[in-house]
Structures are given as structure tokens and as C-alpha cells.
Structure 1
């Protein structure tokens, strides 16, 4: 009896221990089933740069709320008092940050916020090849440390050739088509530049800055390895190709890049080289369509483009795991399909998503949106070697734009202009070195 009593006591003790463990779950309910403990609520701060709260809500908030009901999303737009340096100084660093390549160093890494996503990608067995490799390679190169500091969020900004259908109809000229060369576009521009009924019509306009910056050679302005203009011969080829359009009588370029960029919207310009962007506003009275960006002889048959922004995680975040899960949700096939249908180009390689571009949009659904998918995107522009002084991208682009306008308006020749541009770049480098 003593042995039986001791055995019974051991069984009772073991049962008590097992009941106390609970497997990480709450005590069983009346039916004997374990109840999962609710997740602790907390707030996730997301800084979206210049993206408006309305756009963020339209694209992402419902998805996040449904998938993460225990997390309150606080969205912060860049503005007075909410720039990233100001938030860092105030000790109010967001968990998720929308970064981009031009400001990755100054607006993220220099602020000691950099967090490498590589381990989280491995942990979640996340499929990086679902993205266009160009976009992944660019963020890794821009970080200068082989780290993966973000994942590409739409949109990116592919180049296209816009045209005014009403003007082509009025003058009995056939519309532009996909796959054209710049020589063919030049011939069209000559035909379409004219004066009729006292009204002047231009054959061609452009956004000079992004037309040069986003070029088919992926040519940088400042040389990646030396303190000089990158490959002047290629820049001369690009300048010579574009300036001839502005030498057509009565197709004079506007005095500023911004004015030239909006010339097409006035309704008296036949064609425009520009990005496809949901932020580009063309008035409804302009009956436009688009074709693929023209091909330049000697250049790859690729589509020039401006890369996307990226979702990054701050090193200081206490919620890195959940932040990465949110990134995965915002970059899911389902969200990118909805983006694509709104006219926002996907960062994925998936053809079914590409084919839906603009089909759910009242304007884009009537346009040749597949024009941007005729050619693959060009590789990214090589960044300056680590350790070298650099000139802010916006400064480089402004210098390039004003230089081209001087050439296109006949104030100087190409060779002189490029030498002057190099001198200005070197002067800017000296300013950076002396800071």
C-alpha cells in the first residue's frame, strides 16, 4: 500500500507540473481547448517621406489594419518639424522609414538609423527574386556596405513618349508607335512643328532634367571614381541627340526646365519625352496617349527609368520583426496588383501584375500603358566610390539641366558647355571637401 500511495502521489505531482507549463497558452476552457493569449497592442510609427496620408491610407492602411489588428499605425509625412533629422534630434524615431537612393546616406545612414534586412529575409525565407533585380542591386550599392537597407516599394518612374492625338489627327500625320528610334521621332517633330491660323504648334518637348539623368546608358553625371564629369563623349552623344529637336525652327525650348516640363499640358505640343508618373498631371482637355521611349543608336534597347523608394527599418526600432512583416504585407502580390491597376508601376517581375497596369483607372485604362513594358529597365546608375567627396544629386541634376538649356537655346556649343559643367562640378566638390 505504501508503494501504491507513493506512485499515486508522483502521478499527481507530474500532472500538476504539466498543467503549470501550459505550452505558452492560457488555461484550457470548459471544452478542454487551449486559448491563445492575445497579442499585446502597440503603436508602429511609419514615416513616409513626401507621400500624403491620403495616399498611404488608400494603398496600405486597410491591409495593415486587417492583418495586424493589435497594432495602431501612426503615419508621419515629411514636413516642418517632421523631417528625419528633426525626429532623430527629438528622440522620436519611426520604426518604418520610406527611404530613397538619393538620400539614403544623408537621410538614413548618416543619422545612424541603418538596419540590414538580410537576416530577416533569411528568417522569413523571403523571395527577393520576385523583385526586379535592378532595384535590389541599386539599394545594396547605394548603401556602400553590401547590406540590404530596404525593399523596393512602387512606383518607379519609367520613361515614355507622350503624344497629342488631336494634333496628329488635325495635321493628318500617323501616330507615333512603340519601338521607334530617335531619328524617327525627329522626323515626326519636324512635320508637326508649324504655324496655322496664327497659332504656333511645337513638335517636341521634354522634361530636360530626367531625360538626361535617366538615360539609356545609365550614365552618371559625376564620375564614380574620379573628380570629373563622367564619360564626356557619351554626354556629348546625348546632348547632340536632344538639342537637334530644339533647333527645329519654332520649336524653341522654354527658359527653364520646369516650364519646358509643362509645355505639353498647354495643348499645342505634339510630343513629350517624360516619365510615366501618377504624379504627372496632364489636363483632361489634352487627348494624349503614349508609346515606348525611343531607342538611341549605339545605346542598349532598354527603358530609362528612375528607381523606386524603399521600405526600411530603423536600427532603433523595438518592433523590427513586426515592421518586416508589415513590409511584406505592403509589398504583397495583392497590394501590388491593386497598385498596378491604379497605374502605379510594379517593382515586381510578375507579368500578370504588369499587364494590369492602369486597367482600373478612369484615364489610364484608355491609354497604351504597356508602352513602359516594351523594354526592360536600364541598370541603375553607378554610385560614387565610398570615401570620395560627392555632390548632392539634386545639385548635379540642376547643373545638368541648366547646361542643356543653354545649349538647346543656342547660348553655347556642346563641347564648351560640357567643359563648363565639369568645372562647376569640381567647384561643388571643393565645397563638400571644405565642409
Structure 2
């Protein structure tokens, strides 16, 4: 994939900055700069997130921030009725730090013109950005569209894995799957495990159709980054065909909806499931599961499909930008990410020592093959539309391909028809978005 000139130039700047900080910066990502003694007068730092509960924030970050910044009061706001980012901007109560992500970066950050380029603070504090997985840094720069660094990647990101029901494999005397298996090998296992026994139907395979297609190893976007419509229908056909064959196995019928198919494995009668490793994905304790690496295409790249992380971003209205950056450094330090990793939260760092302790302190994950998550390196992100170009909201895009897969697997449409309709719907969505902007 070609890298935009802006991305390449900023990446070079960040790498030079990282190298210049090697002598003074610490391995944990703390600043190496000798800054003047800052005022310890008390003040309030406002941190805003959408979708992360205050309980989770407190467990992961509150004590660290309190210890390092005892004079600062942390006001934590999570999005809800009357306190969305739109509400806060309208009332001129804009937070200092915002947890952004790539799909909503434009709508919830850039469109409000509250973005702040952290590049100068990276340089000032000699902060080593090369400690992060390069894929995550490049994605936020590309998404910003101006070669600016609008955030630093905060765990978790969402890698794909293959889950399996150990009790079902034991019941039918079939060998467990292994790390490094191909789609063809998983397909053969699915055929073997799909059966009716004692009047009970056992499915060999299920998948979350959205993240299986959206987070693909080909880094293939849904909406074409350079044209209005579906990107590369030939490659999309390949992805659809790969999944479809599993649902053409007799008795391995897909569920009626995306949500139902996502929950099928948790019922205990499905042998294999491809899905994200996600701390919010809770499999009932009565299902005796484990996991192995996500399947690879026989001739495909040895990479792991993944959904990228969120980012800690600073607003340009903040009166405490330096202090906000210091807090972000603390929340993304080796120490914080080590604790996250032990909880089962995949690190955004390229530190194998932190990655290999994934889940070790969690009562469930500590008994699982969590090395499956680190078996392959993360695949690259999908190319983005150019800055200012009309786009379609990410959730709308993913629902189009997910529902198309459901219809194809149910035999209601063939792949070519389904993909043509996705292309047409994307174009209609773009027309609507274009009309709104005028």
C-alpha cells in the first residue's frame, strides 16, 4: 500500500524525534526532557470518553494519575444524555483530554475544530513514539489527513482469533485446532464437527460476519478511498466466498441476524468461532473454550486481522496541554500497559515482554492459550478517504457488508448481486451525506 507523503514525512519526524530521545528518555515512555519546575497549584483536568465506564477508567488509570499528579482533580465524563461531545462543545465545556478513535475522528473531533497536533509536545518531551506498533501511529496520522499527530494509541486494540469448544472436540474424539492453521484446515475441521448426535444439532463453525469482513487480513476497505462506491469488488468476492463455504456445510446454517450469529458459540453447541479477542466479549463459564490464532489464507500474508485502538487526544482549547500530555504519557507507560496486558487487554506497544503476559492475572484468560493473540503481527489498517472527501459513517458501512453476508449465507442472494447492492447503497449514502453538507 502506498503511504501518503504527509504520513511518511510525519513518520520520519517521529522516528527522528524518537532516536533523539534515546539518551534521555526512559524505556517506559516517560519524558526525558528536563522541564522547568511546574506550578503545583491545584486545578481540574477534564477527561472525556465514549463507551468506557468510570469504573473501568478508575481501575486502569485513576491511581496512577493520583500518585503522579496529587494536586490535580480528575473530572471524568463518559458520553451520555446531555453530555455528548456535541453538548460539551455547544456549552463551551470542552474537555482537556478526549478518547478518540479513527471511525469517529472526523465527526467527533475534527468537525468541531478542537483538534490539537501533539507533534510539538512529542518533540519537546523527547517522547519515543517508536515504542508503539507502527501500524497504530500511521493510522491516526493517515486518518487526520494533514500529517498531524492527533492522538497516541491506548489499549485495547481488537485482534482476531479462533475460539473452539474443547468439550465438543473431546466428545467427538477430534484433535483440537492449533496455532497457524489455514482457512482450508479450519474448514475441514468445521465439516468434521458439524453433525447431529442424540437428536442434538452441533454446528462446526460460526463467525461474527461484521468483524470477519471489516477487519480483514487484506486491509481491504469497504468504501473505496479514491472513488464513490465499494472498493475492489473482486477481492470482496473472495472474502465472501471464503466465509460462504462454511455456511454451505449441511446443517451449519447461519443464524437469522448478525447479533444471533455473534452469540451462537455461547450456546455451547458450536465447535469453532472466529471473532475478536475482546474483554467485552463474555463467553458463559459453562462453555469450556480455548483459542488459537486466526486462520490464514494458504497463500496469504502471515498477519492477524485487527480493529485498531482508540487514542488519547488533546483539545486545542485546553489550558493545560503540557500537563495533559504528561498524563497521557503516564496512562500509556510501560507500567500501565503491563498491568493492562495482565488483565487481558492487548498492548499497543511493540514490546514482546508486555505482550507475552497477556491475561496472566485474569482468572479466565490465565488458563487460555493467549499466545494465539501474538502469533502473528497485526495487519495494516485500511486506507482512508482523503481529508474533506464525503464519506459514510463506519457503522453504516460495516452493517451493509455484514447484512449482505447474512443474505448470501441464507441463500437469498448470490455474491455478485449482494456486492452490487452494497455498492449501490454506498453511493446513495454518499449522495445523502453530500446533500447534508450543502
Question: Quick check: TM above 0.5?
Answer: yes
For residue 301 of structure 1, report the CA deviation from its aligned partner. 1.3
1:227 aligns with 2:244: no
In 1, the alpha carbon distance for the partners of 2:297 and 2:210 equals: 18
User: What residue is the counterpart of 1:269 in the other structure?
Assistant: 270
In 1, the alpha carbon distance for the partners of 2:117 and 2:210 equals: 32
For residue 228 of structure 1, report the CA deviation from its aligned partner. 1.8
In 1, the alpha carbon distance for the partners of 2:38 and 2:184 equals: 68
User: What residue is the counterpart of 1:105 in the other structure?
Assistant: 106
User: What residue is the counterpart of 1:416 in the other structure?
Assistant: 417
SS at 1:74 equivalent? strand
- Cα separation, partners in 2 of 1:281 and 1:204, compared to 1, 3 Å: same
Q: Does the CA contact (< 8 Å) of 2:146 and 2:387 recur in 1?
A: no
In 1, the alpha carbon distance for the partners of 2:143 and 2:163 equals: 31
Which 10-residue stretch deviates more, 36-45 or 144-153? 36-45
For residue 188 of structure 1, report the CA deviation from its aligned partner. 0.4
User: What residue is the counterpart of 2:295 in the other structure?
Assistant: 294
SS at 2:127 equivalent? coil
Task: Count matched residues.
Answer: 400
Deviations 1:257-315 (A, max 9, x none): 11100000000000000000000010000000000000013431100000000000011
In 2, the alpha carbon distance for the partners of 1:420 and 1:75 equals: 43
Q: Does the CA contact (< 8 Å) of 2:162 and 2:275 recur in 1?
A: yes
Runs of 4+ aligned residues of structure 1 deviating over 4 Å after TM superposition are none
User: What residue is the counterpart of 1:20 in the other structure?
Assistant: none
1:362 aligns with 2:359: no
Deviations 1:328-375 (A, max 9, x none): 000000000000000000000001000100001000000000101111
1:85 aligns with 2:82: no
User: What residue is the counterpart of 1:18 in the other structure?
Assistant: none
Contiguous gaps of at least 5 residues in structure 2: 1-36
In 2, the alpha carbon distance for the partners of 1:418 and 1:91 equals: 44
In 2, the alpha carbon distance for the partners of 1:67 and 1:251 equals: 54
TM-score by length of 2: 0.90
Deviations 1:45-94 (A, max 9, x none): 00021100000000000000000000000100111111101110011111
Which 10-residue stretch deviates more, 171-180 or 380-389? 380-389
Q: Does the CA contact (< 8 Å) of 2:50 and 2:79 recur in 1?
A: yes
Structure of higher CA gyration radius: 1
For residue 38 of structure 1, report the CA deviation from its aligned partner. 6.4
User: What residue is the counterpart of 2:67 in the other structure?
Assistant: 66
RMSD: 1.0
User: What residue is the counterpart of 1:162 in the other structure?
Assistant: 163
Deviations 1:220-268 (A, max 9, x none): 0011000121011110111000000001111100111111000000000
TM-score by length of 1: 0.91
